Amino acid sequence: MLARSEMDFHISDAKLRLELAKQYPDLKIGFISEDDEGEKENTLSIPFSIELPVFGRNKQSIAMAFSQRRVKVSAYMEKLNYLISRLETLHAQYLLCFQKLRLHQRRLLPLAQKNTKDAEKSLKLGAMRPLRYLDLLADLQKKNFEKVQLETKCWQKLLEIESLIGLPLIHLGKKSLGPLPKN
């Protein structure tokens, strides 16, 4: 998308340079040799000519080429700015998603697991009703499901960034979803 826009700009820039070159004079130097039949003399001539420019003859085509070049530059800059802002947005979303995942893995999930283990001990001792234990077990399963959803969301953001820039950011063999470096 961006490369196509850049190529359009370069094409319009080349057209503008061509139109500008048309208004400058052409210098012609040549060599002509003539032999007439039946004559023993050869005629050699060196023509030299300079076409005088008429600087006003292609002002309209220069203006059109300049205008098209300006349009292409603005289209390129617009796409570039859009892609940069999209990349910054996706990067911020990825970092936020990764922070949520880290919080979930390091704080919330261990607490839910500890509560479930404590509830299991209380259930065995008879200090807790079975329905309350099942509620805590369901909460643990919800936390595990939320962890999987957050991992999926982080991978989606990472894949969106990769598709936007057109390069893989991590090796497929790595298990970590570590955050992208801020550069």
| Domain segments of the chain as ranges | 2-22+56-165
- Residues 82-93 have a mean pLDDT of 94
Q: State pLDDT tens for residues 137-147.
A: 999 999 999 99
- Distance separating alpha carbons of residues 48 and 67, to the nearest angstrom: 37
Q: State pLDDT tens for residues 168-180.
A: 877 655 555 566 5
Per mean pLDDT, which range of 8-22, 29-43, 82-96 is the poorest? 29-43
User: What is the model's pLDDT at position 183?
Assistant: 47
Q: Compute CA 63 distance to the chain's CA centroid, rounded to the nearest angstrom.
A: 32
- Distance separating alpha carbons of residues 91 and 164, to the nearest angstrom: 11
User: Which tokens in the block code for residue 172?
Assistant: 């497929």
Banded model confidence at residue 17, pLDDT cuts 50, 70, 90: confident
Banded model confidence at residue 20, pLDDT cuts 50, 70, 90: confident
User: What is the model's pLDDT at position 37?
Assistant: 72
User: What is the model's pLDDT at position 4?
Assistant: 86
The mean pLDDT value of the chain amounts to 84
Name 176's Cβ contacts closer than 8 Å, sequence gap at least 6. none
Q: Judge whether 5 and 75 are in contact, CB under 8 Å.
A: yes
pLDDT at 134 > cutoff 60: yes
User: What is the model's pLDDT at position 100?
Assistant: 95
- pTM, entire model: 0.64
Q: State pLDDT tens for residues 47-81.
A: 766 666 555 667 888 889 899 999 999 999 999 99
Going 54 to 55 to 58 to 60, the CA torsion angle's sign is negative
Q: State pLDDT tens for residues 155-164.
A: 999 999 989 8
pLDDT at 150 > cutoff 80: yes
Name 157's Cβ contacts closer than 8 Å, sequence gap at least 6. 90, 93, 94, 97
- Residues 7-24 have a mean pLDDT of 85
pLDDT at 40 > cutoff 80: no
Beta-bridge partner residues of 35? 42
Computed on alpha carbons and rounded to an integer, the radius of gyration of the chain in Å comes to: 37
User: Which tokens in the block code for residue 154?
Assistant: 């982080």
Q: Judge whether 154 and 96 are in contact, CB under 8 Å.
A: no
